Chains A and B, each alone.
Chain A
Amino acid sequence: MSIAASFEIEYLQYLDPEGKLVRNDLPEFARDPKQLVELYKTMSFVRVFDSKAVALQRTGKLGTYASCLGHEAAHVAIGSAMHIDDVFAPMYREYGAQFVRGVKPREVLMYWGGDERGNDFSGPAHDFPWCVPIATQCLHAAGAAMAFKIRKEPRVAVSVVGDGGSSKADFYSAINMAGAQTLPYVSVIVNNQWAISVPRSAQTGAKTLAQKGIAAGLECLQVDGNDLIAMRTAMDYAIKRARHGHGGMVIEAVTYRLSDHTTADDARRYRPDGEVKAAWEREPLKRLRNYLLAQKAWSDKHEEAWKAECERIVDIEVNAYLETKVQPVEAMFDFVYAELPVDLQEQRAQVLALEKR
């Protein structure tokens, strides 16, 4: 027998868990400590925000919330690698990417706090909303990429899906379409090892999730998703080649969900403590901080001051959220159609009459 096809999946890492460089070919952006410090500060901000959001839920001031604890490097790398004109199709915990793109923390809180206006966010008006039904956003991103191709616009669409989401038909459909049509589409699998209670090992027999892109004809890469430098390097590469017409790419960001799936979940029921403890040793903030400390680009004093600043900003955002008035009741009718059909006008009037009674 001869070989019909063969493939390898490369793995990219710059910083080991202790924050030591494991390669000596640092990309341009990472040679500038100032840029790295800014990215670190964003990651750090996301963590402060995330912990505050969980606290708000625990005290009854927020609905169910999906934490992003442990995903900060992957998310901030995605957001910072994209142009503002590019289109982002998130799942529902990519706040790090979205803050970089202009979404306000108060808008995240509004969404999980039961107010649709959170999705009418301050980020790019073309970005897709949070997407709960798992992996459908992949096809919307591919559709956006198709629109860019038809209109000959130098824009790229990026979606994020989890390890569980990469089992869904929509994920495969999207990368298949991207391969068939050479679309400017980057599909990022943020593999945090757990789809609620189902481990990565139960999702697929494939050795890596990145290799799923091989069957679609896409370039694939597995990345240490806790390593900001590696993630950003991978995203820069994928987005650049997509923008220049070389087609789509699948990036698997290997990370760990340090939190419960959402605040409605209790991961202690299904996940060994030892595994979580070990994952904390690999978490993304520590290694980048160690690296920056070693570079003398950051200090304990900086750390303390920035943490305080994050707390201050998050408090402002939380207060803005808490002070947001509930939408008028007729809001449930006012965005169903461009123009309200007669049937709905009658129902809208009924609801208004009940309100005024």
Chain B
Amino acid sequence: MAQITLIEALTMAMAHEMARDPSVVVLGEDVGVNGGVFRATAGLSEKFGPVRVLDTPLDETTIAGIAVGMAAQGMKPIAEAQFDGFVYPMVDHIICHAARFRTRTRGRLTCPLVLRVPWGGGIRAPEHHSEANESIFTNVPGLRVVMPSSPSRAYGMLLAAIRDPDPVIFFEPKRIYRQYKEEVADDGEALPLDVCFVLRDGSDVTLVTWGAQVKETLEAADALAKEGISAEVIDVATLKPLDFDTIHESVKKTGRCVIVHEAPRTAGFGAEVAARLAEHAMYDLVAPVERVTGYDTHIPLFRLEMKYLPSVERIVAAAKRTLAAG
């Protein structure tokens, strides 16, 4: 078994499915000979040829619309949005068509596509390259919205996304593309697309997060442990559909919850988690739910971006507030 990074795990998953299923194709800007600007599709063009690893014209509308058309006609396209900030021209096709072909045609046509979106800030990138825009998609019926945060989850979840009969928005936390390596077997084993992952058991407070913030949240749990506070960490790798049961079970045990996400606070996906806690876990809670999020501002250019992103310090402080409250 090879030690690989998160992004190498994505490449491995795509290569695995392309070899297994001739209907799987990759399309996007610079995904071919160049292997993608982040190298996610490195080597695929050599292996599978330029027809199945398609360099599209520089037009996101084309990428999304072509992927929808192909998916409706029996292909399984993996479309790449080069950066999170470039998905907006794709949204019409994703919302009006990919997400609703099944409904509109009563199941006659479906749209089993994967839209891969390198996601989030913290890599000192130019403007429009650092967006955390997952909640635009989590409000859309018919979509699955997922975001892995480790090499092994990236591999298993991308396999599952490609095999899923419905459209999947696959967010890739690019800040942790190469954060660490992990042993991942190329065994074709997919992971479920509707469960949260409990990354660390704890009894005093539940820290709920996803994407690149898993890194800071685990570090916060370490810091809390040093002060004798036991934090449970949940990675909501599948935002939609949400596995609320796993979160609820944890909160039953801890009575406290801190939700950590990079996106702006208002109507961010944390609001949905908090609302479910209010609906279903009010009497399990001993302290108000805390949210540690991006601010309701645009993510600043890179000199200030780390001030915007949730920090270990902010997460630890929020966890301590829940302990002080009850």
Contacts and interface: CB of A to CB of B under 8 A. Distances in A.
Interface residues of B, number: 48
A338 B106 contact: no
Contacts of A170: 61, 65, 92
B62 interface: yes
B42 to A, nearest CB: 22
Contact of A176 (B57, B92, B102): B57
Interface string A336-350: 111001111000000
B313 to A, nearest CB: 34
A136 B102 contact: no
Contact of A146 (B70, B101, B109, B194): B70
A120 B107 contact: yes
Nearest to A132: B96
Contact of B242 (A146, A157, A169, A343): A343
B97 interface: yes
Interface of B: 25, 51-52, 54, 56-57, 59, 61-62, 64-75, 89, 92-93, 96-97, 101-110, 141-142, 144, 164-166, 194, 241-245
Given A119-B106, A136-B96, A180-B57, A336 B141 contact: yes
Contacts of B93: 136, 139
B108 A143 contact: no
A138 B110 CA distance: 18
A289 interface: no
Given A146-B69, A150-B75, A342-B241, A336 B57 contact: no
Most A CB atoms within 10 A — which of B106, B164, B241, B242?
B106
A143 B66 contact: yes
Interface stretch (A121-129, A237-245, A248-256): A121-129
Interface in A48-84: none
Nearest to B89: A169
A328 interface: no
B92 to A, nearest CB: 6
A309 interface: no
B108 A142 contact: no
Contacts of B104: 116, 119, 129
Contact of A117 (B25, B75, B106): B106
A139 B61 contact: yes
A65 to B, nearest CB: 18
Contact of B92 (A133, A138, A150, A336): A133
10 contacts: A119-B105, A129-B104, A136-B97, A150-B70, A174-B62, A176-B57, A176-B62, A335-B102, A338-B102, A343-B241
A177 B241 contact: no
Contact of B72 (A120, A140, A148): A140
A141 B89 CA distance: 18
Contact of B110 (A116, A180, A338, A341): A338
Contact of A147 (B59, B69, B241): B69
Given A142-B69, A150-B25, A337-B142, A173 B108 contact: no
A169 B108 contact: no
A146 B243 CA distance: 37
A118 B96 CA distance: 18
A186 B173 CA distance: 40
A87 interface: yes
B103 A139 contact: no
A335 B165 contact: no
Contact of A128 (B51, B72, B74): B72
A144 interface: yes
A141 B65 CA distance: 9
Given A117-B106, A139-B93, A336 B66 contact: no
B67 A120 contact: no
